């Protein structure tokens, strides 16, 4: 059995599935409202397992969508999965939300709103390349008609792109299946969020620190 968790977007999802040959059969899913991930992730997970008479010990892997997306959501999901995996010795597979979106839409490119007029961009036409870009940079890097998006801001910036529903934990399980079959798991110690951009706290801490140092020198 496989467990999938995605807390990167405006709605969080959990998916429980089992493998049938080289395919994934989703048994059930649960949703988490925005800003409830920290409080409700574990209770919703417990309810989902109980509904299908399953236990964590039966899971052969946990698939975590580790970003990019909400900084808080990414941290909550990754931290919860690391805790569960450490307690149960279940291997973990981390997948990019951009990659899940591209595979869901069957396109070589994907974009997610990053705020401040920028977008998280994934290019899978020849490998795996992800970056933080402006609208102009993305239009220069990809064919927008082959771009997968799932948000209103992205639709406004790229009206010719392919709009699909937001990716879910169930979609992430399909992306992770080849790695699961190959036993290609992530190292739990080094597992972290796929942020692509530093948090506001990190962005603004250094200028403030430099300003404090300048004040000290001038005193």
Q: State how beta strands 12-20 and 92-95 pair.
A: unpaired
> What is the per-residue pLDDT for 217?
47
Overall average pLDDT of the 57-69 stretch: 96
Pair 37, 75: CB distance under 8 Å? no
Pair 169, 77: CB distance under 8 Å? no
Which band of pLDDT confidence, cut at 50, 70 and 90, is reported for residue 218?
Answer: low
Handedness of CA 76, 61, 174, 183 (dihedral sign): positive
What are the contacts of 145-149 at 24+ separation with CB within 8 A? 146/107, 146/108, 146/109, 147/107, 147/109, 147/110, 147/111, 148/101, 148/102, 148/104, 148/105, 148/107, 148/109, 148/110, 148/111, 149/101, 149/110, 149/111, 149/112
How far is the C-alpha of 171 from the C-alpha of 178, rounded, in Å? Answer: 13
**194 C-beta neighbours (distance < 10 Å), count:** 20
Domain 2-105+165-207 CATH assignment equals 3.40.50.300: no
- H helix and E strand count, the chain: 7, 10
Query: What is the per-residue pLDDT across 42-58, written as a single tens digit (0 to 9) for each?
Result: 999 999 999 999 999 99
> What is the per-residue pLDDT for 199?
54
How far is the C-alpha of 106 from the C-alpha of 103, rounded, in Å? Answer: 5
> What is the per-residue pLDDT for 39?
95
The rounded percent of the chain whose pLDDT value lies above 70 is: 90
Mean pLDDT of the chain: 91
Query: What is the per-residue pLDDT across 83-128, written as a single tens digit (0 to 9) for each?
Result: 999 999 999 999 999 999 999 999 999 999 999 999 999 999 999 9
DSSP characters over 84-122: HHHHHT--EEEE-HHHHHHHHHT-SEEEEEEETTEEEEE
> What is the per-residue pLDDT for 20?
84
How far is the C-alpha of 194 from the C-alpha of 199, rounded, in Å? Answer: 12
216 has a pLDDT exceeding 90: no
Q: Where are the domains of the chain?
A: 2-105+165-207
């Amino acid at each position: 059995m496989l467990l999938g968790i995605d807390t990167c977007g405006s709605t969080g999802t959990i998916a429980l599935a089992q493998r049938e040959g080289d395919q994934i059969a989703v048994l059930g899913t649960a949703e988490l409202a925005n800003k409830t991930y920290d409080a409700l992730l574990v209770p919703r997970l417990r309810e989902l397992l109980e509904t299908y008479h399953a236990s964590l010990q039966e899971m052969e892997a946990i698939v975590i969508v580790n970003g990019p997306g909400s900084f808080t959501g990414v941290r909550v999901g990754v931290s919860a999965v690391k805790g569960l995996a450490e307690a149960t010795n279940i291997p973990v597979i981390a997948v990019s939300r951009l990659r899940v979106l591209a595979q869901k839409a069957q396109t070589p490119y994907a974009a997610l709103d990053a705020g401040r007029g920028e977008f998280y961009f994934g290019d899978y036409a020849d490998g795996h390349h992800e970056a933080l870009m402006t609208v102009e940079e993305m239009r220069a890097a990809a064919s927008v008609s082959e771009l997968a998006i799932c948000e209103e801001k992205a639709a406004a910036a790229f009206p010719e792109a392919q709009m699909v529903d937001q990716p879910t934990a169930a979609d992430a399980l399909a992306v992770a299946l080849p790695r699961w079959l190959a036993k290609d798991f992530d190292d739990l110690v080094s597992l972290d969020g796929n942020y692509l951009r530093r948090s506001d706290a990190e962005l603004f801490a250094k200028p403030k620190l430099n300003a404090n140092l300048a004040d000290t020198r001038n005193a």
